[in-house]
Amino acid sequence: MQDIQALARQIFSNQPFTRHMGAQLTAMGSDHAEITLPIADHVKQQHGFVHGGAISYLADNAMTFAGGLALNGDALTAEFKINYLRPAVGTHLVARAKARSASKRQAVCQCEIYAVDGSEEKLCALAQGMVVPSN
Amino acid sequence: MQDIQALARQIFSNQPFTRHMGAQLTAMGSDHAEITLPIADHVKQQHGFVHGGAISYLADNAMTFAGGLALNGDALTAEFKINYLRPAVGTHLVARAKARSASKRQAVCQCEIYAVDGSEEKLCALAQGMVVPSN
Amino acid sequence: MQDIQALARQIFSNQPFTRHMGAQLTAMGSDHAEITLPIADHVKQQHGFVHGGAISYLADNAMTFAGGLALNGDALTAEFKINYLRPAVGTHLVARAKARSASKRQAVCQCEIYAVDGSEEKLCALAQGMVVPSN
Amino acid sequence: MQDIQALARQIFSNQPFTRHMGAQLTAMGSDHAEITLPIADHVKQQHGFVHGGAISYLADNAMTFAGGLALNGDALTAEFKINYLRPAVGTHLVARAKARSASKRQAVCQCEIYAVDGSEEKLCALAQGMVVPSN
């Protein structure tokens, strides 16, 4: 359990794109993971909201880690879908992913992405996808 | 037609996240758009392939522009799904999106994402989603 | 509230395909709906499990009703995705859909489909999609 | 090649749900399949259009067969998404699915569903999903 979480932290810190985004792995468990992204200018689109592509990165990555933890090893997102619910504004985004089911060959995950402003969290996107062992 | 393409170029260049990614709008038509992303270190994951989240950004954004061109105005991606086919390696990625159908309230788009290395293009992801007018 | 639920019952009973499937609307609320399908031979595939297409019908329809109730009027499913988790066996299937978000132009719904055998329920599919007003 | 097509025909004819729908396997190749569904009353919804659930069955099943042919064996749809483009009216529906990519463990397929009325075909839905070997 500790080992797989240590592996997850190591993989996360070894992702150059994750560093480029400025995201942090803020919580983990046996079947879930949480990634937090400060809302800096560089993640915004033309209207000042967070770009959908930045939100989809968060969903993809949070589900990879939730699925990998549930599958107990290095994993990758094979596919996912995302629905955007409202413009994402605030100080940071929090993506919480959970494996709803895990077998040897797949973990099916769901992810909720919240925009946080002070003490208020607003659900701004929902995602669902499949994570598979990476080999 | 020229006007909507000029609007598209302006919106694209006004996206801070797109600049942060280093993407370029490399082709456009009445119902399609192409976005190119050089494969720099900052878009990679832990194994040296392009991070899925960077690919999903490309898909999301290329479909937004294809859909917006088909809808003839400012638009946003309401939802999409993506399947990853193979690890993305090479010198750059090219995302080609096309609106397969457009009505007043939605454009349904598909996007093919290719990894390019020299003269060879390999299909590495497929996406499908809905673009809606932004107001 | 009663009126929209009466409308939902009327629409449900006016669907020839729903009668052909043998499905029943077994619960409703302001933002959710439950549809139950007895597992008869005619909904099975070649291995004796429920056909994925019958499960996808349940997901589609349960989300339409959950979304319609949340939108307070006649509605239709514009798109959805479904992941199958395990073979569906038992005496009947229960699809429980809930609108996670509703605005004027969309309700984003999630649906869990359970295979029921005696007192045991097993999650066998997860779906997510968008429902829109039908006019 | 003949063997896998003969297997496909046998599996198709052994699906009770497919018989209940009245669908026919009308074309096949090494990576594609076509299923045709006459538009009888029993596949309609409350407005006289084909029920989305019947269309999603067609998409699911056509992709299963296209993927199974590409994977060269018995297969199942692990997940898919569908976008509905317009109401489906006419004499029958034709779903044409194609595997866009196939590896040992997945075939990623796309499917176009057309409503046919006389000599006219109208695209009424688009789907994309993953097919996996069934064991």
pLDDT tens digits for range D4-62? 999 999 999 999 999 999 999 999 999 999 999 999 999 999 999 999 999 999 999 99
Average pLDDT of chain A, as a whole number:
96
> Which chain D residue is nearest to residue C11, measuring alpha carbons?
D46
Contacting residues of B for C79, CB less than 8 Å apart: 79, 108, 130
Cα separations (Å) of D99 from A106, B47, D102?
21, 27, 7
CA atoms within 13 A on the CB side of D62: 33
What is the rounded CA–CA span in Å between residue B30 and residue B70? 6
| Burial class of A37 by CB neighbour count within 10 A (0 to 12, 13 to 18, 19+) | buried
CA atoms within 13 A on the CB side of A51: 31
pLDDT tens digits for range C11-59? 999 999 999 999 999 999 999 999 999 999 999 999 999 999 999 999 9
Those residues of chain C whose CB sits closer than 8 Å to some CB in chain D are 11, 14-21, 41-46, 50-54, 56-58, 60-61, 64, 76-84
B94 touches B121 (CB < 8 A)? yes
Q: What is the pLDDT at residue C1?
A: 57
Mean pLDDT of B5-14: 96
* CATH superfamily of domain region D2-133: Hotdog Thioesterase (3.10.129.10)
Band the pLDDT of A1: cuts 50, 70, 90: low
Those residues of chain C whose CB sits closer than 8 Å to some CB in chain B are 78-79, 81, 105-106, 108, 130, 132
Closest CB to D85 among B85, B101, B127: B101
**Cα C105–Cα C107–Cα C110 angle in degrees, nearest 5:** 160
pLDDT at D1 over 60: no
Residue A132: count other Cβ atoms within 10 Å of its Cβ.
24
Question: Which chains does chain A touch, 3 or more C-beta pairs < 8 A?
Answer: B, C, D
Q: What is the pLDDT at residue A135?
A: 75
Find the radius of gyration of the CA atoms of chain C: 14
What is the rounded CA–CA span in Å between residue A106 and residue A104? 6
End-to-end CA distance of chain A: 20
Looking at chain A, the whole-number percentage of residues with pLDDT higher than 70 is: 99
Cα separations (Å) of C20 from C8, C14, D41?
18, 11, 10
Band the pLDDT of B2: cuts 50, 70, 90: low
A50 touches A115 (CB < 8 A)? yes
pLDDT tens digits for range A69-79? 999 999 999 99
3-state percent helix, strand, coil for chain C, nearest multiple of 5:
30, 45, 25
Shortest alpha-carbon distance between residue D94 and chain C (Å): 16
